[in-house]
Amino acid sequence: MDHSRAERALPARLDRARILSHLASQRIGSALEILEEIPSTNTALMARAPEHTEHGLVVAAEYQSEGKGRQGRRWFAPPRANLLFSVVLRTTHTQAGLATLVGACSLIEELQRLGVPARLKWPNDVVARVESDQAIRNGKKIGGILCETRAEPAGGGRLVLGIGLNVNLDEAEFPEELRPLATSVSILLGHPVDRSLLLAHILGRMDQTWNDLEAHGGDRLIRKARALCDTLGHLIEVQLGQGALEGVAEDLDSCGRLVLRLESGARRLLEIGEIRQTRRMD
Ligand code: BTN
């Protein structure tokens, strides 16, 4: 096989020097590893010894052979097209729900700055709703977050926040079954974007948001997440294990849980769940 031709056919690699030179971050991303291929950046960081997982360490991959989505699903991404990265967050008290919101809000705010109409579908999906596409009532998925946690022998905890974002991917490059459900930054903007710059900006926002959370608590984060969340105000059906619950998504509580008002008037607090949005209430 002619490897040089195959190499040339691939898009540009993530550029570590470019990322670091645009990184406005005290900690997140200042230790940065970029790998050409790995089974999963999340799995790698969860498996590492504590002394090799300092707060803010980021591992990004150009390709994952066993990329993980939520609920045991695979995360699809061809080589060098998307952003696939995981961040180590060290904390004594922050819950996975709030950490997921740090990732989601940072991603969404940066996408909105670029002109992508990104919104949060609670708890961990980033979706983009294109008004002209009436068939896609709940928006198409553009990114997702997978938070894994682990208690450390020395106390405290390790959170690994894995983020997958569809960046420079044409419609034809998605597997057929995902085409009606997924989209990418380049599809929505009509041109490819510089992945290195995008990663630097997302990491900078995460750093700021995380520091704010640790220093001042979650109020500001929750207010931001409410404003970015498409789920609130909808009558929704939530898949919970084998069963399902229907109700109105009323609010996010101070831990990032969804407040669901059931038909009976009772309220349920949900930490996780697979949402099938039904319709807006107003
Ligand atoms: C979801 O199901 O929406 C979450 C997807 C998370 C995918 C990212 S890609 C980088 C990191 N490594 C993984 O194996 N998964 C996460």
pLDDT tens by residue, 110-134: 999 999 999 999 999 999 987 665 5
* CA 47 – ligand 1 centroid, Å: 16
Q: What is the pLDDT of residues 128-155, one digit of tens each?
A: 987 665 545 668 999 999 999 998 877 7
**Residue 153, burial from CB neighbour count under 10 angstroms (0-12, 13-18, 19+):** exposed
Question: Ligand 1 centre and the CA of 90: distance in Å?
Answer: 19
When pLDDT is cut at 50, 70 and 90, the band that residue 280 belongs to is low
For ligand 1, whether the C-beta of 162 sits within 6 Å is yes
Amino acid at 103: G
* Per-residue pLDDT at 5: 41
Confidence at residue 3, expressed as pLDDT on a 0 to 100 scale: 43
- Identify the residue whose C-alpha is closest to ligand 1 atom 15: 68
Question: Looking at ligand 1, which residue's alpha carbon is closest to its atom 16?
Answer: 162
Q: Cβ(32)–Cβ(44) under 8 Å?
A: no
CB of 84 within 6 A of ligand 1: the answer is yes
Q: Report whether residue 141 contacts ligand 1, using a CB cutoff of 6 Å.
A: no
Angstrom distance (rounded) from CA 102 to CA 232: 18
State pLDDT tens for residues 187-237: 999 999 999 999 999 999 999 999 999 999 999 999 999 999 999 999 999
Query: pLDDT (tens digit, 9 = 90+) per residue, 53-66?
Result: 999 999 999 999 99
pLDDT at res. 44:
98
- For 116, the 3-state DSSP assignment is coil
Average pLDDT over residues 15-43: 97
* 149 Cβ contact list (under 8 Å, min separation 6): 96, 157, 158, 159, 160
Q: How far away, in angstroms, is 281 Cα from ligand 1 center?
A: 31
Q: Is 145 in the pocket of ligand 1 (CB under 6 A)?
A: yes
**Strands of 184-229, DSSP E:** none
